[in-house]
Structure 1
Amino acid sequence: SGALSFQSVIKNGYSSNGRTVAGLDGARDVAISPDGKNIYVAGFHDDAVSIFSRDQISGALAFDSVLQDGDESSDGHNRTVDGLDGARSVTVSPDGRQVYVAAYDDDSVSLFLRDPTSGALSFENVIKDGYINNDKTVDGLRGARSVIVSPDGKQVYVAASIDRAVAVFVRDPPSGTLAFDSVVRVPEDRDDQSEVTEGPLGIGISPDGRQVVVVAIPNQALSVFLRDATTGRLVLERIEGGIDFPQNVLISPDGSDVFLIYSGAVLGFRAQCAQCSPGEMCPMGTGFPIPCPPGSFQFMPGEASCPSCEAGFFSASHGATFCDICSIGTFASKGSESCSVCPAGRYSDEIRLESASDCKSCDSGKFAVTDEDGEPTTACSVCEAGRFSNANFTACLPCPAGRYASLEGLGKETDCLACPPGQAATGANGSVEVDEACQVCREGTYRGFGDNLLSCQPCGEGAYTEREGSSSCIPCTTCPAGTRVVADCSESKDRSCESCPAGTFQNKTNQLRCEACPPG
């Protein structure tokens, strides 16, 4: 039934857990850790936060310790606790790793690190009104009365009555450190939202983090702000007026009810069902409309879901009412947030492609590559003269040394023409004409058909060539018996012979001299 039965009370000066309870004078706010192990109480007159252990079966509390303004930190860092003068509100981060306290007299929000095992707190730092934080002057903390952490843990909000504002801080989840972001003034009434009021007293946030509500005096109203899910910044949505001296606000865990404490009473608001707008979806039981996520859309109002973008279409932002079509040269699978360009070696001259395989491959002798600016490829380019396309059609490679190509659009290396016999490579790559790629073999050297293209080879022993551009060498002449060698054979000259003179002879070949005939 939810009915309550009184169990116990703990007051300042009581004995609990072998200790004397302290820090509860002017108790203004209480928070429970997400694991249910600890209770934290903000004591306004004691300038303190009291820490209690909680029995998770019986709910009984045991006093552990108290931190007061000006205490020396017991964590070994020699810090003096600050930011608890007039402590009005306390809250625990969703991950249970930090505790934040808003202090009215200190115009501040302070950060305490929480031991997940014992629940003990250690003072980390404080941010006060007028401090420089995140390269900005902190504003909106004078008369800080209430502090909350967003359900996603990304932001901390502080309501301040003197500044008549809500200060917005960005929270670093691992460390809990806060960075001042902005301040929002609370409007006075429905008719004139340009003026500001005194006295925001309480602040609450919906379970889905989409709305922040603030109660304030003297406008006697409930102000409802929409919260940006990415930046955490607040934009006024509406004001509910006619509430006598509201003191605090609470939103039910399911987000369907808002409760206000005012003038000795509790006022309840029930969320009314409304039709979702185009670009939003409202599944059954949704407390607030949900923007269509990227990759989906909804052009009709009052729908429970957002269909995915079809293949070849995309939506890049939240709340899309239609999907954009991918441009020529790009593709996108179903439900895509963006289009991808056809990969190198492929192109497209059509729209509504689903995958990279739908992009066309370049023909032999052509290539396609994405520009440096990421522009899609809608056609393949022809390889210029002196080049040929690689196997993936992603680039044109130069004809190697010893080959050339005067035509464009070649598809493989062997399409480049080889140096003709009697010529070898100059060493140049990407040659267009034969004279660029090849040089004539000099006298005494040759290169035959099918020989290495890179160089001309010297004629070996017993062979020669007297002309340039030879494709082969000629065997040297053999001086027969009865002759002698006048000039021997070299790489570039043939051997010359003459007959032995009278009175001499030679019965061997290729001899340098003739022998004298013997007597008789």
Structure 2
Amino acid sequence: MEVTPDGTLTERARTPAANPMFLAVRPDSETLYAVERVDGGRVSAYRIDAESGRLTRLNGRSSEGGGPCYVSVDATGRYAFVANYQGATVAAYPIADDGRLGEAADVVRHEGSGSDPERQAAAHPHAIAPGPENRFCYVPDLGTDRIAIYRPDESGALRPAEAGPVTASAGAGPRHIAFHPTDPYCYVVDELDSMVSAYERDPQTGGLAAIDRSSTLPAAFNGDNEPADVHVHPSGRWVYVSNRGHDSVAVFAVDPTTGRLEAVAHEPTRGATPRDIALAPDGEVLLASNQHGNAVVGFAIDETGRLEPIAELPVPKPVCAKFLESA
């Protein structure tokens, strides 16, 4: 899919893939990684043709757990990390110079449960994201109401950070995490109670301290909802959260002094179940992947952080979108 400067969305190519759930792009913009719910869980590497948009599969590895739901790549492009929702594991993989994935360097199993007997009967790591300094990896675990913090070593082993895990609010169900580009704040979307939690982050220890929590929903809404994705604008001025049920993107302003959030708007995504949102590197466009609306919708971001719909592209059951930057 190509996004033009005026926000037009155009299909460029299609590459067959086996039930892909989440994507990550290596920093050199030459390789894409996808977790795929097939063969008990798999993570695959694809070579990117920047001209045509086509992908060529390089290789794949077991995701080391069922229900893989997230993949990320560290800032050096040396390691990929995977979270397995059903398997309750996170795994680290070395990346070869040509982008291929090596065998898992480490696999860590999460244990525990939470207060919701249906959704939190076991651990469910939902994401694994390297922090801004590339020293720590953060794992929101929906099943245990914890955010685990790891410090990968030179071999790729996921060593627990000395700061230890952070306990979220009971029944919150932390899902995804996003980091402020310049200040020591990060934001975690809590799937089970439709909240977004703000944390202050210690860059030296990796530790998190809770600051505040904000609802992702307007006060008048009382229907079912499960927020999914969270991103911080490249300027650091706004935070965006997707709501599945309310089918909107919640817009928050960031207080630059405290890191707290203030609700600004709730923009309908023009489709059902926005599982993922993506921000353009220049901060001018947001894409919402409406999984059950079978479309990706593009929005322009104005000077207040609010969203204005500008384009739509039919896509069967879209679940994730990533922008490709030039190397």
TM-score by length of 2: 0.67
Whole-angstrom CA distance in 2 between matches of 1:208 and 1:2: 30
Whole-angstrom CA distance in 1 between matches of 2:223 and 2:148: 26
Whole-angstrom CA distance in 2 between matches of 1:122 and 1:275: 41
Query: How much has 1:221 moved relative to structure 2?
Result: 0.6
Residue 248 in structure 1 maps to residue 288 in structure 2: no
Residue 147 in structure 1 maps to residue 197 in structure 2: no
Whole-angstrom CA distance in 1 between matches of 2:247 and 2:89: 30
Counterpart residue identity of residue 126, structure 1: P
Counterpart residue identity of residue 160, structure 2: F
Residue 36 in structure 1 maps to residue 36 in structure 2: no
Whole-angstrom CA distance in 1 between matches of 2:198 and 2:224: 18
Residue 52 in structure 1 maps to residue 93 in structure 2: yes
Whole-angstrom CA distance in 2 between matches of 1:196 and 1:171: 33
Whole-angstrom CA distance in 2 between matches of 1:140 and 1:2: 47
Give 1:391-406 correspondences, 5 Å limit.
Answer: none
Residues 1:106 and 1:185: Cα distance change in structure 2 (over 3 Å):
same
Whole-angstrom CA distance in 1 between matches of 2:159 and 2:286: 34
Whole-angstrom CA distance in 2 between matches of 1:244 and 1:205: 23
Aligned to 1:105: 143
Aligned to 1:3: 53
Aligned to 2:25: none
Counterpart residue identity of residue 4, structure 1: R
Residues 1:54 and 1:2: Cα distance change in structure 2 (over 3 Å):
farther
Residues 1:274 and 1:121: Cα distance change in structure 2 (over 3 Å):
closer
Query: How much has 1:9 moved relative to structure 2?
Result: 4.0
Counterpart residue identity of residue 68, structure 2: A
Aligned to 1:226: 253
Query: How much has 1:51 moved relative to structure 2?
Result: 0.3
Residues 1:97 and 1:3: Cα distance change in structure 2 (over 3 Å):
same
Aligned to 1:128: 167
Aligned to 2:199: 169
CA deviations on 1:77-117 (whole Å, 9 max, x unpaired) are xxxxxxx91011111111101000011111221111122x3
Whole-angstrom CA distance in 1 between matches of 2:281 and 2:181: 11
Q: Kindly indicate whether the alpha-carbon contact (under 8 Å) linking 1:141 and 1:159 is maintained by their aligned counterparts in 2.
A: no
CA deviations on 1:337-380 (whole Å, 9 max, x unpaired) are xxxxxxxxxxxxxxxxxxxxxxxxxxxxxxxxxxxxxxxxxxxx
CA deviations on 1:181-238 (whole Å, 9 max, x unpaired) are 11111124xxx55768631111111122111110112111111111122321111111
CA deviations on 1:153-194 (whole Å, 9 max, x unpaired) are 511211112111011110011111011111111124xxx557
Whole-angstrom CA distance in 1 between matches of 2:133 and 2:249: 29
Query: How much has 1:140 moved relative to structure 2?
Result: 7.2
Q: Kindly indicate whether the alpha-carbon contact (under 8 Å) linking 1:259 and 1:266 is maintained by their aligned counterparts in 2.
A: no
Whole-angstrom CA distance in 2 between matches of 1:184 and 1:100: 21
Identity, in percent, stands at 22
Aligned-partner SS, 1:87: coil
Whole-angstrom CA distance in 1 between matches of 2:179 and 2:86: 24
Query: How much has 1:3 moved relative to structure 2?
Result: 0.8
Whole-angstrom CA distance in 1 between matches of 2:301 and 2:229: 23
Aligned to 1:88: 126
Query: How much has 1:240 moved relative to structure 2?
Result: 0.9
Aligned-partner SS, 1:207: coil
Whole-angstrom CA distance in 2 between matches of 1:44 and 1:272: 32
Query: How much has 1:30 moved relative to structure 2?
Result: 0.9
CA deviations on 1:120-167 (whole Å, 9 max, x unpaired) are 2212322223xxxxxxxxx37622221122222511211112111011
Whole-angstrom CA distance in 1 between matches of 2:52 and 2:145: 37
Whole-angstrom CA distance in 1 between matches of 2:155 and 2:183: 22
Aligned to 2:109: 68
Give 1:8-407 correspondences, 5 Å limit.
Answer: 8-12=58-62, 23-55=64-96, 57-63=97-103, 64-70=105-111, 85-115=123-153, 117-124=154-161, 125-129=164-168, 139=169, 142-152=172-182, 154-188=184-218, 192=219, 198-241=225-268, 242-263=270-291, 265-271=294-300
Counterpart residue identity of residue 40, structure 1: F
Query: How much has 1:119 moved relative to structure 2?
Result: 3.2
Aligned to 1:394: none
Whole-angstrom CA distance in 1 between matches of 2:146 and 2:240: 21
Residues 1:187 and 1:197: Cα distance change in structure 2 (over 3 Å):
farther
Q: Which has the higher strand share?
A: 2
Whole-angstrom CA distance in 2 between matches of 1:158 and 1:254: 23
Residues 1:2 and 1:260: Cα distance change in structure 2 (over 3 Å):
farther
Whole-angstrom CA distance in 2 between matches of 1:275 and 1:244: 25
Residues 1:58 and 1:243: Cα distance change in structure 2 (over 3 Å):
same
Residues 1:167 and 1:140: Cα distance change in structure 2 (over 3 Å):
farther
Query: How much has 1:275 moved relative to structure 2?
Result: 9.3
Residues 1:193 and 1:173: Cα distance change in structure 2 (over 3 Å):
farther
TM-score by length of 1: 0.43
Q: Kindly indicate whether the alpha-carbon contact (under 8 Å) linking 1:187 and 1:197 is maintained by their aligned counterparts in 2.
A: no
Q: Kindly indicate whether the alpha-carbon contact (under 8 Å) linking 2:290 and 2:297 is maintained by their aligned counterparts in 1.
A: no
Query: How much has 1:263 moved relative to structure 2?
Result: 2.5
Residues 1:203 and 1:273: Cα distance change in structure 2 (over 3 Å):
closer
Moved more, 236-245 or 95-104: 236-245
CA deviations on 1:246-282 (whole Å, 9 max, x unpaired) are 1111112121221122135442324255599xxxxxx
Aligned-partner SS, 1:8: strand
